[in-house]
């Protein structure tokens, strides 16, 4: 297994649109294992392949406190969405920044698991937030893009300053 490097916003590569996985094979499963290890080590509750600079539609998630409930979503598709919720979000690609985002409260998602078997998951609340957050990454979208332009400009300045001081 291996811990992968997570791209940091603003990085152009975070805006790449991921491609469908054509065949779930041993290479896919190795990436899934490395993504899970990277997510648990961070620690985070989810990780999209985009964040480790692999532009394929692959997500790992685990919102359990015990880190023993891994969910793998390959080629996820939202079949239905309803309701609204506001929640504080963070992102491993934008460390230390937490902002409120409006999301659907209930979603039904169809995806393939790591064996290539299709399954459907009904998610609500925080799990639904996480799945939507990760699916955005696969479309090249980072949660801060939901903020006002003014907030985004201030955020980029803050991250630049932080990076300067970290050197
Ligand atoms: O670890 C994470 N926590 C989190 C908290 C609120 C809403 C979304 C998330 S996902 C994030 C990990 C991450 O960046 N996934 O892309
Ligand atoms: Ni994220």
- Residue 163's pLDDT band, with cuts at 50, 70 and 90, is confident
Q: Give mean pLDDT, residues 135-143.
A: 98
Is the pLDDT assigned to residue 166 strictly greater than 90? no
What confidence score (pLDDT) does residue 150 get?
Answer: 97
**Angstrom distance (rounded) from CA 105 to CA 87:** 10
CA of 46 to the centre of ligand 1 (A): 6
Domains for the chain: give ranges and CATH numbers: 12-166 (3.90.45.10)
**Angstrom distance (rounded) from CA 156 to CA 1:** 33
pLDDT digits (tens, 9 = 90+) for 18-31: 999 999 999 999 99
Q: Does residue 6 sit in helix, strand or coil?
A: coil
Residues with CB under 6 A from ligand 1: 44-48, 51, 89-93, 129-130, 133-134, 137
Q: Does residue 135 sit in helix, strand or coil?
A: helix
CA of 110 to the centre of ligand 1 (A): 20
- Write the residue with the smallest CA distance to atom 4 of ligand 1: 90
Pocket test for ligand 1, best of 6, 7, 67, 90 (most atoms within 8 A of CB): 90
Residue from 21, 136, 121 nearest 71 by CA = 121
**Angstrom distance (rounded) from CA 110 to CA 19:** 16
Residue from 130, 24, 145, 20 nearest 77 by CA = 20
| pLDDT > 70 fraction of the chain, expressed in percent and rounded | 100
pTM of the predicted model as reported, rounded to 2 decimal places: 0.98
Q: Which two tokens stand for residue 103?
A: 């999301």
**Angstrom distance (rounded) from CA 57 to CA 68:** 23
Give whole-number Cα distances, 60 to 5, 14, 138, in Å.
15, 17, 12
Q: Give mean pLDDT, residues 63-86.
A: 98
- Please name the residue ranges forming H helices in 25-98: 26-41
Q: How many CB atoms lie within 10 A of CB 104?
A: 18
CA of 136 to the centre of ligand 2 (A): 8
Strand partners, 120: 110
- Residue 167's pLDDT band, with cuts at 50, 70 and 90, is confident
Is the pLDDT assigned to residue 101 strictly greater than 90? yes
Catalytic residues: 134
């Amino acid at each position: 297994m291996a811990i992968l490097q997570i791209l940091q916003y603003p990085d152009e590569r975070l805006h790449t649109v991921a491609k469908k996985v054509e065949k779930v094979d041993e290479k896919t499963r190795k990436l899934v294992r490395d993504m899970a290890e990277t997510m648990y080590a961070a620690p985070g509750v989810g990780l999209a392949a985009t964040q480790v600079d692999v532009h394929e539609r692959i997500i790992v998630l685990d919102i359990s406190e015990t880190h023993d409930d891994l969910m793998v979503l390959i080629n996820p598709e939202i079949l239905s969405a309803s309701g609204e919720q506001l929640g504080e979000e963070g992102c491993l690609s934008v460390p230390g920044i937490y902002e409120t985002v409006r999301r659907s409260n209930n979603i039904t998602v169809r995806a393939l698991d790591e064996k290539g078997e299709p399954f459907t998951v009904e998610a609500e609340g925080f799990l639904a937030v996480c799945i939507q957050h990760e699916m955005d990454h696969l479309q090249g979208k980072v949660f801060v893009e939901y903020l006002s332009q003014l907030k985004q400009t201030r955020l980029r300045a803050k991250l630049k300053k932080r990076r300067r001081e970290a050197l």
